[in-house]
Structure 1
Amino acid sequence: MESVKKIAEYYIEHKQYHKAEEKLKNMLEINPLDEKGYEMLMRVYYYMGDRIKLSMQYEQLNTLLTKELNLPIRSSTKQLYKKLLLDLESEK
Structure 2
Amino acid sequence: MTDSIHQRKSEHIELSLTEGALGENITNGFDSYHFRHNALPEIDFNDIDLTATFFGQTLSAPFLISSMTGGAEMAETINRNLAIAAEQQGWIFALGSTE
Identify whether the pair has TM-score above 0.5, normalized to the shorter chain: no
For CA contacts below 8 A with separation 6 or more, give which structure has more relative contact order: 2
More strand by share: 2
Relative to the length of structure 2, the TM-score reads 0.33
More helix by share: 1
Relative to the length of structure 1, the TM-score reads 0.35
